[in-house]
A = this chain, B = another copy of it.
Amino acid sequence: MSSAATRTTGRDQFWSVTEHLEDILATVRPLEPIELQLLDAQGCVLVEDVTVPLSLPPFDNSSMDGYAVRVADVAGASEEYPAVLTVIGDVAAGAAEQPQVGPGEAARIMTGAPLPPGAETVVPVEWTDGGLGEGPVSGMRARSASPEDATGQVAVHRPAEARAHVRAKGSDVKAGERALAAGTVLGPPQLALLAAIGRATVRVRPRPRVVVLSTGSELIPPGEPLGTGQIYDSNSFALTAAARDAGAIAYRVGAVADDAETLRSTIEDQLVRADLMVTTGGVSVGAYDVVKEALESVGDEDEEGAGIEFRKLAMQPGKPQGFGTIGPDHTPLLALPGNPVSSYVSFELFVRPAIRTLMGLEDVHRPTTTATLQVSKALTSPAGRRQFLRGTYADGEVTPVGGAGSHLIAALAHADALIVIPEDVESVEPGTEVEVVLLG
């Protein structure tokens, strides 16, 4: 709320979408990092450069199942005139002891096993008779079934250059190199690298805990019978799911009735598990707009200018919005309007970037593109408002679904994009190039 003091924030002053978003992003700070187990850090942002403590591979090892031999012993070998070597034992992956390979000798070696001392190269088992004395084989017999194959003789049918089929120590990464840079988002391959260099835990920004609560005495949980004037609570489900999609750990609080004291105490209760709070409803100009009533007067004692501020945005849907910080930890709170489409669009525009900022992500916004508007007649848009219509996008074209009404949930459920009509545009002709937010 640092910018609040320098701006006119009177009741009838409209904020632009951009100004409101900038205020939110100037207030919300990335969460403090914590050390997490690898799989708990999936999708999180690394906050430290990770250095490689040991080279990968940690030792020269075989890339094939075969025989570790000396180069001179297999020089000139062919199927007709094989090099016949004495098999001195096995080098299995993970075996602590390795045989010494002398002249005229071969150690049977498995993929990933260390190149034993004395050996200079590896011949794949397919280049040998596997010790069976009957021409080339396609593989080894299991040690458990045929232990004698680790002894006796093997006929090698082809020569091998020095260090053939050998992965050199450090050929992947070397000790001291940087494995991953701070700011990296940890997906499966990055977790693979961290595990491979021996990291069991990693320092990341945690997923934010987001508490979602809807308000309105008319709201009934789905599954229960509706009385006169009642509707089902859908916002708390939609925004909890959307917060998870954005990367958060989201908690859905049931709908709270329009009573300022109940709302205040519910919010106070929930603060303990919130890095961000989101409410829906009760922010407009009615006589029962309890979010506004309950929070407008709630300052943030320790921080000058803090508290929740209610604004009108030059936006449709989503005109009434509240934002600020609350409670001893100055927890950010976004108070969204209650109409289902308004609250969902507001979530996409303001809450999602806030969640991703808390995570420390650089890329906090949905991707946008331009598309050709497919309509049969011109669309109208109110002057001085940035309008967000729901649409379906495909192959460079976007088609509106449903109308502008902020209660049209069915149309929202069939949309995959928001069509942006700028503030200074009041009419958009068919075929116009428009900006589109892709909802993924």
Contacts and interface: CB of A to CB of B under 8 A. Distances in A.
Interface of A: 11-12, 38-39, 42, 54, 56-59, 63, 65, 90, 92-96, 98, 108, 110-114, 125-126, 138-146, 149-150, 167, 171-173, 179-180, 187-201, 216-219, 221-224, 226-235, 237-242, 244-245, 252, 257-258, 260, 284-289, 293, 338-340, 344, 405-413, 415
Nearest to A112: B218
A76 B409 CA distance: 36
Number of copies: 2
Most chain B C-beta atoms within 10 Å of own C-beta, residue among A197, A288, A415: A288
19 contacts: A65-B286, A95-B229, A112-B231, A138-B285, A167-B405, A171-B408, A172-B405, A188-B241, A189-B412, A191-B238, A192-B234, A192-B340, A192-B344, A193-B410, A193-B412, A194-B222, A195-B232, A195-B233, A199-B223
A415 B238 CA distance: 34
A156 to B, nearest CB: 16
A258 B93 contact: yes
Contacts of A284: 65, 111, 139
B191 A241 contact: yes
A232 B92 contact: no
| Chain A interface, >50% SS class | loop
A138 B232 CA distance: 29
A340 B171 CA distance: 14
B190 A413 contact: yes
Contact of A201 (B90, B126, B223, B286): B223
Contacts of A145: 293
Contact of A288 (B54, B143, B187, B258): B143
A250 to B, nearest CB: 9
Given A110-B287, A188-B239, 11 more contacts: A42-B245, A56-B407, A56-B409, A56-B410, A90-B287, A93-B229, A94-B217, A94-B257, A172-B405, A188-B241, A196-B340
